[in-house]
A and B are shown apart, each in its own frame.
Chain A
């Protein structure tokens, strides 16, 4: 299956081509080039997925294949960075997800970005991102993953800052890069620790379940935790940064300053699930060697999920609502992994998490692209400028509704199946955690329908000209993704992706399912009551919970904390004193030496006066002194 290399390479070639000669092309040509190349890449991944899932099964278990692998850089005999393609069920699934969503976004952008300055640059960056993301998921070793991890970070930076004349966009891109870079520091140190003791970067060896590999780490602990736990926790920190887990999530809502299709691709469907993918990729290591970290993953996921859902209930910018909703849903995936075991029914959480990753990518991309169509029509991100749009934007309205129902967990839409299995796995792990996640699921349904009603129902706000439905290049992706969302729930996911690569038949846990559907329906009912028409209940509620409401509006002051750390502590508290110290103390000392030698030479230059009498006197005095010394010693 060597051709899988081209799935990754084609977008890179497209990036080089558009980056170098894009300016000579018309915007239209550049857009079509990018889209066609990606379409080829997508077709190749569908073929690869078909081939893989039909042929790679040996003894009922999907094998890991490595069709391409070569050494890129040697460190020592044992440690070397390889670049290559690793195919296993999750990698193949990710290839399909990434190329599909990316293709939809490429197509959509032809309409959405029409007439924008830097259209060619935009497509070059999109290709770069797609290349990096694909390289990340097929990584054969953890260092290759780190390489592409950094590359997706930089493409995200470039795309968030696409409107580089806008100060908010510049600040947001900077924030995104620095926060994730900070998390990557943890990732890097984790890799260093892990490779120091195991002597390998290779995923296949690390996840083979061979305990002797980790023998060197036994018995070494630091601050009460074993070294392997530290290493895996640090690696998870990298994942938490990219996947916007609390408290490293601060960059994601701001990242909405980028063009909306970019938010759909990078900040909803693909890059932000890289952290989930990382944990899934190293799942056997987490499960077998560092189960305590896995609990940490579950807790971080649950806290993030609840926190983000609460904040999403009060945001008024539609993209911000979706951003917090993304954070919350990724929290669900993390919880799924955190509560999972290995093999058979114990591995339900793992399977569910990957399933949710798949369905979420589709319906969240749909929501963002829908939001883009709305913003395109009314030229605003604020809910206050919307309302009553269902008459003007029929296609957008229907597809958006499908996505809302999916995320709320209403059968038979895809989100119901995947989320329900996560809930079932969580209840199996801990009823308390399960209850908390069910509550979060209810909140999800509530804020999504708040969003839906305030955009499409309610009183229409005044528009200068009637909003119009977008062009075909924008509505086609919407319809396609809505169709996927309708049917994806019926994919027998357990046949393909499981914790041990063996087949697992999904059984719906009807008590959990019925309860969660009931919660979702109630939440939707409340949202209908509050937001479908004019109602004063939300305002009164906000007034009676004033403290909570204000804190949620301010996103619980975490952005202020971020500003405090960067501006006050790093900039004013460390860097300024360091710079002052350098100029005044270190350099001052050096200048001091110069001044000192100047002073000394001024004071002794009197000896070189040129007066004969003085010289003779000194000579005589010296001669006398030597004579005395010779005579009396």
Chain B
């Protein structure tokens, strides 16, 4: 049995355990054990991976395994990881772990909530370990569908509307994607669904030109590509805390990862020719998301738009098609995942106390909840790219990488994207100034600071953010090495 398959097996077992558990205590025991196990597995995988590489194993993917699943279309259950998927698995495990802690106290239907939560995790982990296009797509769908119920049932505000909108838009993206995958299968001439095998061959240029937009937009919807991002503000605003965390933290990364692993890797020529269209769109995303965030009054909307801006930067950097910028894109996915998860966790905790997310109704909260306040400031500083936290590393790698592109067009857009660092500072400081500083309302004076599970959840995230920010070299090198095959493929 392959080591990687454990990442899928553990959430499935957790679902079994949940099914059998009788009370809240048992539910908590199951999810906490499962989530810790996943985190341990992910950390173990990082060491195992680095160990293999240090031992000189230069294969493109490590820990591979495959088994035939559906012969007529050559669909295999095929797994394997490179530095990029290892990083994404680690991110997912951290978010799942902290998400479980953040939803330690559910209001109702705990068992069902965690069942769907585990199914969602199965999809996420399965997606990152898959090397087979169809299996990957299947996991992608497994991750999307629970979202509908999680938001629709456990959400707040206009939850039915948001859940429906999110699902429909993402499903529309999947439709494009399925078309693209089938196109790749039939036109590549390899009769294979395996990404590595397709990449070794060559999809005809003509076919690439219409397949690339399908796949890129299909995944891009999930990566908040302008103008297909509008599910995100409503979706995030209505989702319960842990779901927002998982959604913004990991699920949106599925989009970026897919764009990169499928669209760019398999269709480099089209990527080269059509990149300018998407660079314009993502460039708009970056600046537009940031400007939109400035005037929002709902904490979750601010973060949702901020995510549009930051995830825009991910897709923007991928399209630069050079090693440094792509490395930055992957780092940005990690960094954004961690800090948005932290943001949503904190917003959930603040909302649980003040029962409002409207920044005009809060103020001076630093005084009564210093721990949460400090964490919020740290998250904000990470978001505006303070050195020593993860955002800086990612953004600077992207900017330097994009700027060394030989085309003036790309460099001009890089400068435009750079302006977002100022706008980001504006909306982050606005929120911090409004909700944490200033005078506190009298009815907020009796609020309590974070309790143990909330502290644990935020501390793990902050440690990860600061860890990447202080010592980025190992991570960046690990990703960089794995980018080589993709770069070589892109320079056909």
Contact = CB atoms under 8 A, between A and B. Distances in A.
B200 to A, nearest CB: 27
A167 B433 CA distance: 9
B390 to A, nearest CB: 12
Interface in A162-220: 164-165, 167, 170-171, 173-174, 177-178, 181-182, 184-185, 188-189, 192, 195-196
Contact of B473 (A71, A196, A571, A586): A71
A151 B385 CA distance: 10
Contacts of A579: 291-292, 294-296
B230 A590 contact: yes
B386 A151 contact: yes
Interface stretch (B145-153, B202-210, B435-443): B435-443
Contacts of A182: 422
Interface string B463-481: 0000000001100110010
A75 interface: yes
B32 interface: no
A154 B381 contact: yes
B386 A170 contact: no
A273 to B, nearest CB: 21
Contact of A150 (B386, B422, B433, B472): B386
A628 interface: no
A589 B381 CA distance: 35
Contacts of A170: 433, 437-438
A121 to B, nearest CB: 9
A560 interface: no
A72 B230 contact: no
B332 interface: no
B433 A171 contact: yes
A608 interface: no
B294 A73 contact: no
Interface stretch (B184-192, B393-401, B450-458): B393-401
Contacts of B440: 165
Nearest to B388: A151
A11 B430 CA distance: 30
A76 interface: yes
B437 A165 contact: yes
Grouping DSSP codes into helix (H, G, I), strand (E, B) and loop, the A interface class, with mixed when no group exceeds half, is helix
Given A73-B397, A182-B422, A570-B294, A177 B388 contact: no
Given A76-B404, A79-B400, A188-B421, A574 B291 contact: yes
B396 to A, nearest CB: 8
B404 A178 contact: no
B66 interface: no
A282 B28 CA distance: 59
Interface in A579-633: 579, 582, 586-587, 589-591, 594
B439 A571 contact: no
B387 A76 contact: no
A447 interface: no
Contacts, number: 131
Interface string A134-151: 000000000100111011
B369 interface: no
B288 interface: yes
A181 B438 CA distance: 23
B311 to A, nearest CB: 15
A594 B162 CA distance: 13
Interface stretch (B42-50, B51-59, B259-267, B412-420): B412-420
A590 B400 contact: no
Interface string B373-410: 00000000100111110001100110111011000000
Most chain B CB atoms below 10 A, which of A73, A146, A586: A73
A154 B294 CA distance: 20
Given A151-B388, A185-B422, A79 B404 contact: yes
B266 to A, nearest CB: 25
B366 A151 contact: no
A505 interface: no
Contact of A570 (B169, B400, B415, B426): B426
Contacts of A589: 227
Interface in A8-48: none
A161 interface: yes
Most chain B CB atoms below 10 A, which of A177, A574, A578: A578
Interface string A435-477: 0000000000000000000000000000000000000000000
B437 A161 contact: yes
Contacts of A189: 415, 418
Contacts of B291: 574-575, 578-579
B325 to A, nearest CB: 10
A196 B386 contact: no
Interface string B99-143: 000000000000000000000000000000000000000000000
Interface of B: 165, 168-169, 226-227, 229-231, 288, 291-292, 294-296, 323-324, 364, 366-367, 381, 384-388, 392-393, 396-397, 399-401, 403-404, 411, 414-415, 418-419, 421-422, 425-426, 429-430, 433, 436-440, 472-473, 476-477, 480
Given A150-B385, A594-B165, 15 more contacts: A73-B476, A75-B324, A75-B401, A81-B396, A148-B387, A151-B388, A154-B381, A167-B439, A173-B433, A181-B384, A181-B421, A192-B403, A574-B291, A575-B294, A590-B231
22 contacts: A71-B473, A73-B396, A75-B397, A76-B323, A76-B400, A147-B388, A150-B387, A151-B387, A151-B388, A170-B437, A173-B429, A177-B425, A181-B384, A181-B422, A185-B418, A188-B399, A192-B414, A196-B403, A570-B294, A578-B288, A586-B227, A590-B230
